[in-house]
Structure 1
Amino acid sequence: MKITGTGAPALTPAIGGAAPAPAPAQAAQPGRSASPLESEVLQPAAKALAALPDFDAARVAELRDALAKGELPFDAGRLAGLIQRFHGGRG
């Protein structure tokens, strides 16, 4: 699941789901500027972005295997500190 925080639908499909149907383009109304996604210039980029997966499943599998085999170093204490720092902790 992708969390956008804006209340607007995400551009990328949910994990295991299909891409959301594109919203119909609305005609520009007087006094209303078009959103970036309604712009003809950005529509191809938005469509290409919507076609991308949320994550690279093959790369995740590679890293999971390397971690399970002990080939990838893992420091749980460092990870915990980084999570605390990211979320505003004093770590």
Structure 2
Amino acid sequence: MRITSTSGPELHPAAQAADAGHATAPAPTAAEKTEIHSAVLQPARAALADMPAVDAARVAEIRDALARGELPFDASRLAALVMRYHGSSR
């Protein structure tokens, strides 16, 4: 919001020109917002579509094998791999 006064000093000509050229762009319409939103999400949607579906039965089978101790699990190794993946230098 710009406050002006008729009794105050006039704006410098450069300030007047900048103020005149400071017209705000009209707000995007709902359709334009949807198009932008869609364009931004399109690569993520494509990547998600390319991912294989989760095999819930296989996940349950592996979880049960871990619980029974039939699969080796090294928490320290997993932690090291996670830290390496995320770039931790510790």
TM-score normalized by the length of structure 1? 0.44
Higher relative contact order (CA 8 A, sep 6+): 1
Highest CA radius of gyration, 1 or 2? Answer: 2
Higher helix share: 2
TM-score normalized by the length of structure 2? 0.44
